[in-house]
A = this chain, B = another copy of it.
Amino acid sequence: MTDQKAPKSEQTRTLILETALRLFQERGFDKTTMRAIAKEAGVSVGNAYYYFASKEHLVQGFYDRIGAAHLAAVRPILDSETDLQKRLAGVLTTWLDIAAPYHEFASQFFKNAADPESPLSPFSPESEPARKQAIEMHREVLAGAKTKVPAELADVLPELMWLSQMGLVLYWVFDRSPGSEKTRRLAERGAQLTTRGIVLARFRVLRPLVREVHELFADFLPGMAQTAVSRKKRASDPDADFDPAAGADGAAATAS
């Protein structure tokens, strides 16, 4: 780092973020103002707004932070494990470990994030960086596994896996079992079932249905649509890593 001020500004940013999370937890998200966050963090209101343009941006900062910690924590699994089910279970349960300190916050915060049109929704344009990173992680789960994924599903599976992870997060928000152990078991079972589904995709007749399920979500969930469009562009790019023959074959199987 050549910029001497970077660590200091990073510290201030972290201080504001941590203060905000604490206040959200203590007072509720709706009742916490930027003014109160600035005061509690010992910075000026202008300074707080310099780092985070709104309370919503603070939550995005929180998402990014959880995402970065998650990625660092799963790195050993992604770099060494080759069993698909273990890779996926590792990614899901590690997320639960990372998010555990924020469980209480998540449940009171949920009603703000559940609305797909809220900037705090995992489907919002604002959440795109966090979402893309998480989808990319699922792509790596598949890419590094010894179980092979059909080329015609390679672009849709990571998004469907991310979507089912969002289902897991929803379950976790309301899970009151000690240490979220029910959600942990659901993650293990979900990883097992996903793996069995992917193994079954060796039957070509199934693949168009998987693509259609993805298309349905992409057409009706804003964030998914965006990613799907950029994927479609990639798919029609002749340099892209895509097997059009497999796709045509899948379409033929549908018609039979």
A: residues with CB less than 8 A from B are 110-111, 114-117, 171, 174, 176, 182, 185-186, 189-190, 193, 196-197, 200, 203, 205-206, 209, 212-213, 216, 219-220
Contacts and interface: CB of A to CB of B under 8 A. Distances in A.
B219 A189 contact: yes
Given A111-B111, A200-B206, 10 more contacts: A114-B174, A171-B220, A189-B219, A189-B220, A193-B209, A193-B213, A196-B212, A197-B209, A203-B206, A206-B206
A176 B117 CA distance: 9
Oligomer copy total:
2
22 contacts: A110-B114, A111-B114, A114-B114, A114-B174, A115-B174, A116-B174, A117-B174, A117-B176, A171-B220, A185-B220, A186-B216, A189-B216, A189-B219, A189-B220, A193-B209, A193-B216, A196-B209, A196-B212, A200-B206, A200-B209, A203-B205, A206-B206
Contacts of A205: 200, 203
A114 B116 CA distance: 15
A209 B190 CA distance: 12
A212 B193 contact: yes
A220 B203 CA distance: 29
Nearest to A108: B111
A217 to B, nearest CB: 10
A199 to B, nearest CB: 10
Contacts of A200: 205-206, 209
A220 B189 CA distance: 10
A190 B219 CA distance: 12
A212 to B, nearest CB: 6
Nearest to A112: B111
Nearest to A189: B216
